[in-house]
Structure formats: structure tokens, C-alpha cells
Amino acid sequence: MKKSILLMLLISPSWAFQSSSLRFPTISNPFTRCSLRRHSRSIGIHGRTVNSDLIPKEIQSLVDSLEAVKLLPRIKENNKSTEDLNGLAVIDPKTKPTFRRLFTHETWKLHIGGSTLHRWIRCMISTPSSVILRAVAKSVFFLSIWAGLAASFAPKLMGSALSSQLQDQSLPLSLCGNAIGLLLVFRTNESYKRLEEARELMEKVVHLSGEIVSLLVSAWEPHNPGETQSVKTSTVASVGRYLSAFAWSLRDELRDGDTRDDVLNILLPKQEAKWVASQRSRALALHGQLRRILFQEWKSGRCPDQVHFHIETQLNLLSSVAATCERIFTSPIPPTMSRHGLRSMTLLMMALPVALSFSVPPIVNIGWTAAIGFIYLGIDELGVQVEQPFRVIPMWQLCQLVQEDILEFSLHPLELQPIV
């Protein structure tokens, strides 16, 4: 009996951290990084919890503000259909994986799980809900009508003598198709390079925000009791607020129609929120505020030189990320190339049914024109949809990740307080 009790005490050391009063925010978004681990923190890992008596009022206010931002609706009620967000159709991540949502283990199972035959059947069944098909359906329908007219009237208008000479037009069509295909592939590749760069930049925002808070927390009072060089709790809370507002403001600048003044009003004092909202670049205004408050902390001697140096390095990188995002947003792929590719593709699509009308039946002509039009227009649409990459990146979820990292790093010293 004594051995059993001793064994239970050895495998359950978490009893020392239990508390009857919890003030830790629940993180239950199923589409965020490490969602299972983060969700377990809301009830404590292995019984480890945060005593509300140990949370300073400034940090508790930060927790409440971040939770209030999290509960805000994703888009404002403006009598618009939620089936079309920023010009792109919304896909339910529970039924079809999409780049507009962060993947989890369940999403990967939907995306690549099962046999090859199962994935192929699932893809074919979901064709009617294809985003690309919706985008090019009207153009393909127009080409089909044109193919039917060309197949019916072109042989009659040109006469039998000329029609016999135009039966084989495979060589010019092949040359034109190859050239246009190369142009489309080049343009689409450039678009996806922009998407990859933009996604890396937003991940840097998440990483740098966490790094700045982590560095600041390393010199915070609860973690260094009795130290003369110790950052004020109010500074930690203010930095957390500014970094969260920075992420949301950068999102607002890069997404059309998503400006969220309500986020600023929750995170910042009223007058300061109004001032930030009036700036050309809200993100840079908040970045300047971050730099000023941290400089004052270093100047007063509360922030060690080494910590301030490393934080300043992260702030430089964060400013560079904002500038690069602005470059991507304001500098598209040269529109001349896009227009030339579309005009060339239009010539090919208009000539194709005329050339086929002398060698295939009308129904076959319509079918081939519709199929080739869907392929070429679909490739062009793939590039168009991601050329402005911030429309398809899951910005809302990434901003939530920034808040979660700020929250975790801010509460780490408080969790460790009982065993110091």
C-alpha cells in the first residue's frame, strides 16, 4: 500500500501547481498551429495552471483585450454574401482543403489521405464546386457558343475548294499553343513566387513578434525578483498590445475592405487608437511606438543593454518585413505581359474552332474547344488568383497566432513563479 502511494506521488508531481482559481484564456481555434498543444494549456499541462493571484493587473488586462479581439467577427456585416470573400470563393476546410486556412493533421488527411484512386474520385466528384471552374465557366460557355457557330457556318462561307485546303491546320495551332503555354507557365510561376514570399513574410511577423516578447520577458520582474535591471510589467503589456495591433494593422493594409478600427479601439487607448488610424501606414506608426517605449525602458536602466540590442535587431527585421510586404502589394507582375498573354490566348481560342470545323463534326468541335479553353483559361486564372498573394494567405489566423504567442510568452514567468 505504501509503495502504491509513493508511486502515485512520483508520477504526479503536478499537484504542487494546482489552483482553484484560473484566469487563463481558452484557445480553441482548430485551425491554428499546434492547436492540440495550445488547447491543452487552457486547462493546464499535466495539471499545471496559472493562479489568478499571480497575474498582474496589466497582464490580466492584456489577456482580456486579446480575448476580446479574438471574439470579434471575421468580417463586418455589410449585407454581402459570405460565399465570396475578397473576390475569391470561400471553401469549407472541413470538406475541401484550401490554402486560405492553416492545415492541421485532419486537413492533411483530407488533402493526401487515402489511396490514389480515392483521391482521384474525390477530386472528380468535387469538380462542380471547383474555384477555377466557377471563375472561367462564363468564358468557356462563350467559347462553346462560338465553336458551334464556327462549325456550322465556316465551311459554308469559305466554299468547298477553300475548305479542302484548310483541313489540316495542326502545325500553326501547335506553334501558337506552345508559345502561349510557355507564356502562361512563366506568368503563373511568377505569381506563385510572390505567394511563397508573402507567406514567408507573414511567418516572420509571427516569429519576430514572439521573439520580441520572449526577449523582453527574460528581463521582466516576475522572472528576476530583486534585480535592479528589470522591465516594468506595464511595458510588457504595452509591447504585447502594440505587436498584436501591428499584425492586425499590417493585415488591414494588405487586404481590401478589411480595415478593423475596432481592433485598435480594444488594444489601445482611445486617443492613441484615433491617432494610429489617421496615419498613412498604421503598422509603421505602431512600430515607431514600440521603438520609443523600449528605448525609454533602456534609457531608464531597467532594460539590460544586451536585451535591448537584440530586441532592436528584431524590430529592424520587423520593419523590413512591413516594407517588403508593401513592395509586393504595390508592384504587380508587369500588366503588359498579362494583357499580351490574354490577347494571344483569345486569338488561339477564336481560331481553334474555325480550323477544326473542316475536319471534325460540330459536336466534337464544341467539346474540344471547351476542354482546351478550360485548360488554358484555368492556368491563367491560377496565376491571377494568387498574384495579389495577401488575398489568399490566411491572414486572420496568422494574426491569431501572433496573439497566442504573445499570450504564452507573457504568462510563462507566471506559470514558473511557484517553483522559483
CB 198 within 8 A of CB 389: yes
pLDDT single digits (tens) 340-397:
999 999 999 998 898 888 888 899 999 999 999 999 999 999 999 999 999 999 999 9
CB 147 within 8 A of CB 353: yes
| pLDDT value of residue 171 | 76
Whether the per-residue pLDDT at 233 is higher than 70: the answer is: yes
Whether the per-residue pLDDT at 109 is higher than 90: the answer is: no
How many residues does the structure list for the chain? 420
Query: How high does pLDDT run on average in the chain?
Result: 79
| pLDDT value of residue 36 | 30
Q: Which helix (H) or strand (E) covers residue 88, if one does? A: strand 88-89
> CA 18 to CA 46: how far, in whole Å?
10
Confidence of residue 110 (pLDDT cuts 50, 70, 90): confident
Beta pairing partners, 89: 84
> CA 94 to CA 101: how far, in whole Å?
10
| pLDDT value of residue 387 | 93
pLDDT single digits (tens) 5-16:
444 433 333 333
More confident residue, 88 or 346: 346
pLDDT single digits (tens) 247-293:
999 999 998 766 778 899 999 999 999 999 999 999 999 999 999 99
| pLDDT value of residue 52 | 57
Confidence of residue 89 (pLDDT cuts 50, 70, 90): very low
125-129: average pLDDT: 86
pTM: 0.76
pLDDT single digits (tens) 132-146:
999 999 999 999 999
Task: Quote the distance between the C-alpha of residue 159 and its chain's center.
Answer: 57
> CA 303 to CA 228: how far, in whole Å?
10
